[in-house]
Amino acid sequence: FLLLAWGLFLNHAVFNSDLWFSFSFVTFVMIHIIKNVAELSYCDRTVVFTYAENNGAFMGNGADWQEPYKSLILVILPVLALSFLLFHTLFSKVMSLGQAIGFSFVLGGGISNIYDRIVFGKVVDFLNIGFNDMRTGIFNIADVAIMLGLGILIYVFIFRK
């Protein structure tokens, strides 16, 4: 399945210049494949794969909020923001390759997280990284895609010509 996704990505990227779709699609597909791993630990617990349901936002914030505020802040506002970003990415006439790639990672990760929140009522987090007692919170590949996209965008905006 991953080979099919990457094949579609390469075909689309080579024969069409719409990289935003390719990166967003591959990111979305990979996120949903990787979410189904069992609990595993690597490199003396430096990297731990563990299942955690997140009914809130970052680090579970907002999980105990009352409706309709919870839906407004955790579903409606992100859907509006992602819709605006998708529209901007699709129709911008002055977007650089770096911006397209950065926005695509943000879109792929954001759409994956909001899809899970709408369909399942939660986001599944499963990655934990650290050394001894100094560890990250539990997160998922969608979060990594969003942060990678933001990092690319910051780099592009700081170092653009």
The two three-digit tokens of residue 30, written as one number: 């990979």
Look up residue 115 and give its two tokens: 């899809």
Burial of 23 (0-12, 13-18, 19+ CB in 10 A): buried
Q: For 83, phi and psi rounded to 5 degrees? A: -65, -45
Q: Which of 18, 64, 116, 143 is catalytic?
A: 143
Which of 18, 64, 125, 133 is catalytic? The answer is 125
Q: Does the CA dihedral 83-150-67-55 come out positive or negative?
A: positive
Q: State how far the Cα of 64 lies from the Cα of 52, in Å rounded to an integer.
A: 16
DSSP single-letter state for residue 92:
-
Q: Is 125 a catalytic residue?
A: yes
**Signed CA dihedral, 96, 88, 84, 17: sign only:** negative
Residues with catalytic annotation? 125, 143
